[in-house]
Amino acid sequence: MGTLVDRIARNRGYFAALVLCLLASATNPVPFLHAQNAAKVGEPSFEVASALGRSLYALPDDENVTTARKKLSADPKNVALVLALSKAEAGRRQYREAVATCTKGLSAAPQNADLYVERGHRELGLREFGTAMQDLKRATELAPNNLDAHYHLGLAHYFLGEFSAAAASFEAARALAKNNDSLIDCSNWLYVSLRRAGQEARASEALSRITPAVTNTEPHLYFYLRLLHFYQGKLSEKEVLPPAPAKPDDLEAELSFNTVSYGVGNWHLYHHETPQATKLFKEVVKGEAWNSWGFIGSEVELARVKK
């Protein structure tokens, strides 16, 4: 599926620069071509406008990006190095750059499923859900046993409101799970897709595999595991909801907050409690981790309410 760590920037030291950029650019948005250059000279740069009208920013290159770029320049057709650069760029929220990197890689390796998965993953972060879907469908055709391809295809369907199709993709991904971390992640999205599709009985069945023996290894999957326990009625809303991040550079706190707040807000949504859901979604989109699934999901739902 691509780890949750990979889905948001890993570096804790960039937030001060990002805040300064947001303040400076509020009245003077930076065009995309300048943004690409700015990222290379140490300035956060405009990346994409959200469905709510907010400008979202990438972070400047770090050592991981510069190292990966140098390695790829020495061996430009090496798929592993293409993927490494794309992931390093995504770690700095340079999603357009990551998409461009994958596109160049695909020109040399057009049948490589991993490149389609990686590009589709980053297109989801850019809110290009239809484009991502085409890439991820192609990945499932090239590699039917690629869990990541099915998982991210499920997200593309989900963010487009195609919940039955999303459930089918997440079910296919879950069938390929080889450990509890993947089982937890896929089960969360399978359950909520089925609930949003109005298939409550099947959703309940999806929870049956989350027994007390199922525990996470990757720390970030703990958030989804607690949500699954909430869906099972083992935890109350008060028990499962984390506090809002106290500091803008607390990456772990924001990830936990986004993931769980979106999950609980979504629960209110399919229980026809829209005001409670909207309140939680609005809290999520105040943050900076705009490429997390909880942020994107909250943004999508708020945009639908505006319509």
Encode pLDDT of 55-100 as tens digits: 999 999 999 999 999 999 999 999 999 999 999 999 999 999 999 9
Neighbour count for residue 220 (Cβ, 10 Å)? 19
Split at pLDDT 50, 70, 90, the class of 248 is: confident
Dihedral sign computed on CA atoms, order 210, 220, 144, 134: positive
pLDDT at 171: 98
Residue 22 has pLDDT above 60, yes or no: no
DSSP type of residue 272:
T
- Could you please report the per-residue DSSP string of 208-233? TT--TT---SSTTHHHHHHHHHHHTT
Split at pLDDT 50, 70, 90, the class of 20 is: very low
For residues 18, 128, 174, 1, the Cα torsion angle rounded to the nearest 10 degrees is -40
| Over residues 251-263, mean pLDDT | 92
Cα 266 from Cα 140, distance rounded (Å): 28
- Alpha-carbon Rg for the chain in angstroms: 19
The residues, any chain, with a CB within 8 Å of residue 19's CB and separated by 6 or more, are 248
Cα 22 from Cα 6, distance rounded (Å): 23
Low-confidence winner among 23-37, 84-98, 198-212 (lowest mean pLDDT): 23-37
Q: Are 155 and 192 in contact (CB under 8 A)?
A: no
Residue 284 has pLDDT above 50, yes or no: yes
Neighbour count for residue 119 (Cβ, 10 Å)? 25
Element (H, E) at 88: helix 79-91
| Over residues 204-221, mean pLDDT | 96
Residue 113 has pLDDT above 90, yes or no: yes
Split at pLDDT 50, 70, 90, the class of 146 is: very high
Split at pLDDT 50, 70, 90, the class of 36 is: very low
Cα 109 from Cα 205, distance rounded (Å): 40
Q: Are 170 and 159 in contact (CB under 8 A)?
A: no
Split at pLDDT 50, 70, 90, the class of 305 is: confident
What tokens does 214 get? 């199922």
Closest CA to 217 of 185, 259, 253: 185
